Amino acid sequence: MESVSIILVVEDEPAIASAVAARLESDGHAVTVCHDGLQAVDVCEVLVPDLVVLDLLLPGLDGLEVCRRIQADRRVPVLMLTARDAETDMLVGLAVGADDYMTKPFSPRELVARVSAVLRRVNDSSPPTGPDHQLGAIEIWRASRRIQIGPDQVHLTPTEFDLLAQLASVSPAVLTRQQLLVAVWGYRDGSGARTVDSHVRAIRRKLGDDVIRTVHGIGYALGDV
Ligand code: CA
């Protein structure tokens, strides 16, 4: 028997979403359904799925942008759903970061088979042998949530780790305090900018002032160490 995989289904057509979810669940997977793209990106961050079934045409953000954003942090297998063969051809041509494509209409049975095939391929490939991000001597290991400097492990709180990892994943881009609040704390309103500042200070105390760069009037970016 195969192990249970966490699967996120992003599909705005309720009938297709529930048919796909039901089939995957009966195949033994744990399934979460999202109906729009923006929500999918947030859910993906919290859920850390083993695979995402992603419709191309979605309200909020389209599937291409969702794919780009969820892959920014870590490699997550994606099975893309499209409405026409022509779209599939285009996506393959664009080399979008999807592992497989299916054109609607498809049979849920075939989808389950494709999902199993993608999961098998991913599980067969060897685990990463290096850190996800390297900043001078500082190594960020996402899966084990470790910060390492040479042989020494540096302890960050979970929030500090998420904040640093978030900056690392978009580097060299700058993130505003608001973007960091949403990404790390999940806040939707404008409050709490000082929370970001105090966590940045804490990270600098542990890893050195240069690890995070203040971009005045904008926000923060990963530093040049
Ligand atoms: Ca759609």
pTM for this model (two decimals): 0.56
Domain final position from 123, 142, 165? 123
34 & 111 share domain: yes
Residue whose pair of structure tokens reads 């954003």 in the numeric block: 69
- Per-residue pLDDT at 43 exceeds 90: yes
Please tell me whether residues 157 and 116 are part of one structural domain.
Answer: no
Listed in order, strand segments (DSSP E) in 47-118 are 51-55, 78-82, 100-103
| pLDDT at position 130 | 81
- Residue 28 Cα to ligand 1 middle (Å): 25
How far is the C-alpha of 30 from the C-alpha of 13, rounded, in Å?
A: 20
Query: How many angstroms does the Cα of residue 13 sit away from the middle of ligand 1?
Result: 6
Position 90 confidence tier, pLDDT thresholds 50, 70, 90: confident
User: Mean pLDDT over residues 31-43, rounded?
Assistant: 94
Looking at the fold, whether 44 and 86 belong to one and the same domain comes out as yes
Segment 132-185, tens digit of pLDDT: 889 999 999 988 888 999 888 999 888 899 999 999 988 889 999 988 988 888
Using the Cα atoms of residue 71, residue 50, residue 34 and residue 86 in order, give the sign of their dihedral: positive
Which is higher by pLDDT, 78 or 193? 78
| Range 156-159 contact pairs with CB under 8 angstroms and sequence separation of 24 or more | 156/203, 156/206, 157/202, 159/184, 159/185, 159/199
Both 85 and 141 in one domain: the answer is no
Tell me, what DSSP letter sits at residue 2? Answer: P
* Same structural domain, 70 and 152: no
Range of the domain at 12: 6-123
Residues with CB under 5 A from ligand 1 (ion): 12, 55, 57
Output the CA 94–ligand 1 centroid distance in Å: 20
As for how many domains the chain has, the answer is 2
Angle between helices 14-26 and 108-124 (to 10 degrees): 60
Do residues 10 and 119 share a domain?
yes
